[in-house]
Structure 1
Amino acid sequence: MEQPAHFLVITFPAQGHLNPALHLAKCLACLPNARVTFSTGAFAHRVMFPSSPEAEVDDGLLTYIPFADGSSGKTNAHDKDLRNFVEQVRRLGSQHFDSILRDLAARGRPVTLVIHTIMLQWASDVARDLGISSTLYWIQAATVLGIYHHFFNGHKAYILSHAKNPSLPISLPGLPPFQFRDLPDSLLVTDPTEFLFGIFEAFREVFNALSRSHRPKVLVNSFDELEASELSSMGEYMELITVGPVMPEDAEKTDTTADIFEQDEKDYMDWLNSQAERSVVYVSFGSVHKMVKEDVEGISRGLRESKRPYLWVVRKDGKEEGLELEEEDEAEKNNGLVVAWCSQLKVLAHSAVGCFVTHCGWNSTLEGLVSGVPAVAIPKWSDQHLNARMMERWGTAVRAEEGEDGRVGADELRRCLDVVMGQGVNGVEIRRKAEWWKKRAREAFSDDGSSGRNLRSFVEEVICRMPSSPLSIEEINQ
């Protein structure tokens, strides 16, 4: 019997990073001859395992080992000062990760390959210093990866010089045309004191490392048919291995996520059961965006005037300080339900959900695609603007346009809902496209699909390249 390969999947302790990393870890662990350890910051680990807040946990499928991130308690550590938290994670995490890898080797469980997500190039550096191979797991779209690559490899000056013209068209080699407003925010940060500068630096480190290798392998949470031309165009620079949409097959039935927010006690699934098929508007802006008064008022009025039942996620920490949300009582009068957090995959899979009003984070984009739910796209920051543009091109969404105040108003939200959920030609076509992409996405991550085959081949190659005897702790310490 072949010796099992030991994969260590490590990710930044933020919701949008945890879920795709955990899903990949579980998919890897289900393959033959693969042992998997999952590591994230102490903050997220404490929330995931409140009864073992500092300890290693083994659930029979994965081993979970936290790395130090300087946080304490269950406070969402990166909310108040993201820039300093990124640096803190880098400094403390890299020191502790070295100890984790050495300790695993000393216990007879040496790591074969470290798989790290974006923001954690330091994990690859630590692994390299110990003679352990590593691979980047890109948890955003391949198109976004292409934009970052070209930015850091010859197009930085051009992009920065035109960044203040949001409607100006831009075309980068091998990528479809889009507008400057679609660029990830962090690309345009030049001031080290800015909120997003830590993210910019983390991405710069990743792409500097990639440029030092000849066609490095990169796992991508996408699938061949979804971004065919973009994947092909990047083949000259990297070997992109599509393994997405990465989510376990039973994700709609069981809790497979690593939620750092408490589920709402309201029985929203029973509420969905009482609604007509494809009648409910599901509204969620993810784990980062904070609601302000103008957001609440506009969305609230738009939902009421649409006269459709709705399920609206508003995190307890997702409102600006001092904002009291009166929408909960108002929602009940209008056949709506406001919850603090929910299991998004279960909600999207429910037959009552007919539209997803989304911030267009890549996880939400893929979850909507896999569920066949058409969307109203209201991007907020990061890669979300480009994701919204791609959703339009796939034909699965209507992108809401912002008013002069930079916000989507009630009338615009209602218009978009009428298009997506109405009986007009556009709505019928959007729903048809959503179903078409649902089939393509599910085919891709099935055992016989392109992504399923890619992941198996990747693991088999890692196993084939393993030395007959792994490095001992003595060799690692040399």
Structure 2
Amino acid sequence: MHAKECHSLFRTNTQHDVSILINDLAAGGRPVTCMVIVFLPWLVDIANQHGIPFVFYWIQAATIFATYYHFFHGFESLIQAHAGEPSFTVWLPGLMALQIKDLSPFLTVTDYDSYFGSIVQLMREMFEILDREQERNMKPRVLINTFKEWETDALVSVSAEIETIPVGLLSKETNLSSSGYLFKEDEKKYMEWLDSKEEGSVVYISFGSMSVMKKEQIEEMVKGLKESKRPYLWVLRKDNREKELVEIEGDDDQDGNEMMVEWCSQVRVLAHKAVGCFVTHSVWNSTLESLACGVPMVCVPQWIDQGMNAKLVESLWGCGVRSDGDGDGDGVVKGEELVRCLELVMGDGEKGVEIRRKAKMWKDKALEAVSGGESSDANMKVLVEKIK
């Protein structure tokens, strides 16, 4: 099925099903009072048909939201004209200098009939809806999965046209040393293992639950981790290990410095004092969690929003470094590059000291703001009052 046909069918079915759900909830005495819409702009029609207020929820960084906004408001031609130039610098209103490689790959798509092109058109539709709200002299509202102190410039860059509501920070009642998630039994006792390590000494590696790693990348990671001689906790899916037939843990771990798990409670791990660095593919939620816990990062971005997130970590916040893939263009980070990055972040050099200082600073800024009453909970309560 062609991408356009697929999206058309999905649009029709979701509109139909959501409309039925709204009617059923109302009939059962539980009327919908607001629709929070994530990347499905056609549901605005359903909200309007039922007379229900709506708000968009942007689940990526505010900086990415701002790049999309400016792309659709005067910068589309410039960006697409240089789509094949990764190092070309783009200056968007209110944002730091960005290179083409930092932007979402969807913004460099030139074939709008392709699957990726259909995603661009979906985003275009969302921003057209926001524009129409402005034409009705109504300032549209967008919930954004971020914290004001971390992305002030991005939020301000669109504030004249859109009311952005940051909802990406835990409330002050939340204890980061514990987890609110249901998780599997800790069979390998990774928290006890962390307890046995010195403060700031452990490298934590996780590329998420959906990422599939190449055999070459796993081998290079093993090489780099062993060469670094630092204790590490590595979350690696079972299929990533079995499929690639890579020997990761062996008899040479005499000092108990290697811990492999298939899953862990990431917030608990990041909040542990032994963790000194997070090697991450830079998905947004992991980036937020690392910021909130004050853990420096080595970023290994792969696609979609991860390049921008890595840019924020290295250039805006200064609390980590972005690794370089090899020169063959397959994106594999070599073992020696991982060693270099780990030494920069965790070593005794001036750069490492500054990275760790800034990581703590951003954590402290968040805690100070939350203590002063600024949190996701507080912002949501304000939104609810406005909708009433």
Write the letter of the residue equivalent to 1:95.
H
More deviation, 153-162/321-330: 321-330
Give the conservation status (yes or no) of the 8 Å contact 1:359–1:378: yes
- The 1:411/1:180 distance shift into structure 2, 3 A limit, reads same
- The 1:258/1:269 distance shift into structure 2, 3 A limit, reads closer
Write the letter of the residue equivalent to 2:323.
A
Q: Report % sequence identity.
A: 46
Task: Give deviations 1:166-192, integer Å, cap 9, x for gaps.
Answer: 111111122111111101112223346
Residue 404 of structure 1 pairs with residue 324 of structure 2: no
Query: Equivalent residue for 1:216?
Result: 140
Query: Equivalent residue for 1:244?
Result: 168
Residue 308 of structure 1 pairs with residue 230 of structure 2: yes
Q: How much does 1:243 deviate?
A: 2.4
Query: Equivalent residue for 1:235?
Result: 159
Task: Give deviations 1:360-414, integer Å, cap 9, x for gaps.
Answer: 1111111000000011111111111111111112110011122202321111110
Task: Give deviations 1:215-262, integer Å, cap 9, x for gaps.
Answer: 311111222221222211211221111222256843635543488xx7
Give the conservation status (yes or no) of the 8 Å contact 1:141–1:222: yes
- The 1:180/1:110 distance shift into structure 2, 3 A limit, reads same
Give the conservation status (yes or no) of the 8 Å contact 2:176–2:293: no
- The 1:254/1:126 distance shift into structure 2, 3 A limit, reads farther
- The 1:389/1:93 distance shift into structure 2, 3 A limit, reads same
Secondary structure in 2 aligned to 1:341?
A: coil
Write the letter of the residue equivalent to 1:402.
G
More deviation, 178-187/90-99: 90-99
Out of 321, 338, 357, the residue aligned to residue 413 of structure 1 is 338
Residue 129 of structure 1 pairs with residue 52 of structure 2: no
Out of 29, 40, 45, the residue aligned to residue 120 of structure 1 is 40
Q: How much does 1:204 deviate?
A: 2.8
Write the letter of the residue equivalent to 2:355.
I
Q: What CA distance in whole angstroms lies between the structure 1 residues aligned with 2:214 and 2:270?
A: 25
More deviation, 187-196/206-215: 187-196
Q: What CA distance in whole angstroms lies between the structure 2 residues aligned with 1:419 and 1:274?
A: 24
Q: What CA distance in whole angstroms lies between the structure 1 residues aligned with 2:145 and 2:77?
A: 29
More deviation, 443-452/293-302: 443-452
- The 1:143/1:87 distance shift into structure 2, 3 A limit, reads same
Structure 2: any 5+ residue segments left out of the alignment? none
Q: What CA distance in whole angstroms lies between the structure 1 residues aligned with 2:386 and 2:105?
A: 37
Write the letter of the residue equivalent to 1:220.
I
Q: What CA distance in whole angstroms lies between the structure 2 residues aligned with 1:269 and 1:99?
A: 46
Query: Equivalent residue for 2:352?
Result: 427
- How many residue pairs are counted as aligned between the two chains? 379
Residue 324 of structure 1 pairs with residue 245 of structure 2: yes
Query: Equivalent residue for 1:439?
Result: 364
- The 1:316/1:186 distance shift into structure 2, 3 A limit, reads farther
Query: Equivalent residue for 1:93?
Result: 14
Q: What CA distance in whole angstroms lies between the structure 2 residues aligned with 1:267 and 1:92?
A: 46
Structure 1: any 5+ residue segments left out of the alignment? 1-80, 464-478
Out of 8, 26, 30, the residue aligned to residue 109 of structure 1 is 30
The Cα RMSD (Å) is 2.8
Give the conservation status (yes or no) of the 8 Å contact 2:58–2:145: yes
Write the letter of the residue equivalent to 1:388.
A
Q: What CA distance in whole angstroms lies between the structure 2 residues aligned with 1:408 and 1:173?
A: 33
Give the conservation status (yes or no) of the 8 Å contact 2:112–2:121: no
Q: What CA distance in whole angstroms lies between the structure 2 residues aligned with 1:110 and 1:167?
A: 51
Task: Report matched runs for 1:8-157 at 5 Å.
Answer: 90-117=11-38, 119-157=39-77
- The 1:353/1:171 distance shift into structure 2, 3 A limit, reads same
Query: Equivalent residue for 1:462?
Result: 387
Q: How much does 1:213 deviate?
A: 1.3
Q: How much does 1:88 deviate?
A: 6.7
Out of 351, 361, 365, the residue aligned to residue 287 of structure 2 is 365
Query: Equivalent residue for 1:352?
Result: 274
Query: Equivalent residue for 2:198?
Result: 276
Query: Equivalent residue for 2:373?
Result: 448
Give the conservation status (yes or no) of the 8 Å contact 2:103–2:307: yes
Out of 141, 149, 163, the residue aligned to residue 225 of structure 1 is 149
Q: How much does 1:138 deviate?
A: 1.2
Secondary structure in 2 aligned to 1:213?
A: helix
